[in-house]
Amino acid sequence: MARRPNLLAFLAAASLGAVLVFGATATLDDYVLSIIQFVGINVILAVSLNITNGFTGLFSLGHPAFMTIGGYVTAIMSLDPKRKPFLLPDLPEWLAASHLSFLPALVTGGMVATLVAVVVGFPVLRLRGHYLAVATLGLIFIVQGLAINLDGYTRGALGLNGLPELTSLWWVYGWMLLTLYVCWKLKHSSLGRTMLAIRENELAAACLGVRITRTRILSFALGAFFAGVAGGLWAHLVTLITPSSFSFLFAFQLVVMVVLGGTGSITGAALAGALLTIATEALHPVEEAMGLFGASQVLLAVAVLLVLVFRPKGLFGMAEPDLLAWVGKSPGREPTPAGSKRQREV
C-alpha cells in the first residue's frame, strides 16, 4: 500500500528551503550562487528524466533536444524586440515584435518542447529499448542540425548571446519545487502507478486495460516540458545559447544521474544530480593545481563505476527513503514492487 504524500511535510521542507535560498542570495558570491543554480537545474533535469526513463522505463536520450528547443524559444521570446530583426532576419513579423517576461517565456518554451515531444512521440514511442535510445539520440542531432543551419531563425553556430540574465536562485528554486511536487504527486497517483506498471511488465499492463501508447506519450511529453523549461533557465543563466549547448554527452550525464540515484526514485535522482554537479565543480581546483586537465572526469567516472559495482540498482533503487521520519511522522520505506529486478531475456 503506497504511502500518501504528506503535503504538510512537503510545505515545511519547502519553506525551510526558501529561508536557505534567501540567506544564500544575501550572502554568497556570484560564483557559488551560479553553481547552486546549476545544481537546481540539473535536479530539475534529472527528476524530469526520471519520469520518462525511471517511471515508464523508456530509454530516452532526448532531453538535450528538448532543452535546445525550450532554450531557444525562451530566448527568442525574451530578447529585446529592437535586436531581433538584426539578429534573426528570417523571423516572422509577429515573433520579432513580441516580447514576454520571464515566466511566460519559460512556459512557452516548455510548451513548444512538449508539442514537439507529442508530435515526435506518436511514431517514435512505438520503439522499445535500444531502438528508442537511438531514435531519441537522432532527435538530438536533428534539432542541432536544424539550429545550426536555419541561421535566419536561430543565428546558426554563433547562437544567441547577450541574453538578459533573468535566472536567479528564486526562479530555479521555484521550478525545482514544482518539478519535485509534480513528480511526487505523479508517483503516488494512479497515472504514476500506470507508468510503473508499463515499465515492469507491459504485456500484463495491457491486459489490465492500461492505455500503453497514451501513457508513454504523456510521460515523454511531461519530461520534455520540464526539460524545455530547464533549457530556458540555463540559457538565461549563461546568457548564451548555441546549437551545441546541449549535446549527446549531456544526455549521457543525465542518464548517469538517474541511474546513480536509482531509476524510479525521485529523491535518488535529485540527490545524484546535486552530488555529481557539486563534485564536478569541487574537483576543478584540484585539477588545476595538478595541471592534469581531465583528471576530474576520470575521478568521477571511477567513482560512478564503483558505486554501480556495489549498488547496481543505484543509491536508492526504486524507493524513496523517508527523510522526514525524524520529524515524527510514520516511518517506513515504500515497498519495492515485486519482481522489479530486470529479468534477463531467457
**Considering only residues 262-281, where is the footprint of another protein by CB under 8 A?**
263, 281
What's the CA gap between 212 and 229, in Å, rounded? 26
Q: Which of residues 228-247 bind another protein (CB under 8 A)?
A: 234, 237-240, 242, 245
Other CB atoms within a 10 A radius of the CB of residue 344 amount to: 5
Q: Identify which of residues 65 and 176 has a Cβ nearer to another protein in the complex.
A: 65
Q: 151: which residues sit within 8 A by CB, 6+ positions away?
A: 157
Is residue 339 involved in binding another protein (CB under 8 A)?
A: no
Determine the interface stretch with another protein among 73-81, 168-176, 177-185, 252-260 (rule: CB under 8 A).
Answer: 252-260
Is residue 255 involved in binding another protein (CB under 8 A)?
A: yes
Q: Which of residues 193-212 bind another protein (CB under 8 A)?
A: 201-204, 207
Angle at 84 between CA 89 and CA 63, to 5 degrees: 95
Using an 8 Å Cβ cutoff, are 206 and 212 in contact? yes
Among 2, 85, 128, 331, binds another protein (CB under 8 A): 128
Q: Which of residues 21-40 bind another protein (CB under 8 A)?
A: 29-31, 34-35, 38
Q: Identify which of residues 27 and 343 has a Cβ nearer to another protein in the complex.
A: 343
Among 178, 292, 323, 325, binds another protein (CB under 8 A): 292
Q: How many residues bind another protein (CB under 8 A)?
A: 81
Task: Find the shortest distance in angstroms from Cβ 252 to another protein.
Answer: 6
Is residue 1 involved in binding another protein (CB under 8 A)?
A: no
Q: Identify which of residues 279 and 304 has a Cβ nearer to another protein in the complex.
A: 304
Is residue 329 involved in binding another protein (CB under 8 A)?
A: no
Is residue 118 involved in binding another protein (CB under 8 A)?
A: no
Determine the interface stretch with another protein among 4-12, 185-193, 215-223, 301-309 (rule: CB under 8 A).
Answer: 301-309
Using an 8 Å Cβ cutoff, are 47 and 225 in contact? no
Is residue 127 involved in binding another protein (CB under 8 A)?
A: yes
Torsion angle (degrees, nearest 10) of CA 152, 155, 49, 10: -110
Is residue 68 involved in binding another protein (CB under 8 A)?
A: no
Is residue 67 involved in binding another protein (CB under 8 A)?
A: no
What's the CA gap between 77 and 99, in Å, rounded? 5
What's the CA gap between 253 and 49, in Å, rounded? 11
Which residue is associated with the grid cell 592534469? 292
What's the CA gap between 327 and 25, in Å, rounded? 27
Is residue 55 involved in binding another protein (CB under 8 A)?
A: no
* E strands present in 225-293: 240-241
Is residue 189 involved in binding another protein (CB under 8 A)?
A: no
Counting runs of H as helices and runs of E as strands, what totals does the chain give?
15, 2
56 grid coordinates: 515508464
Q: Which of 25, 35, 50, 44 is nearest to 279 (CA)?
A: 35
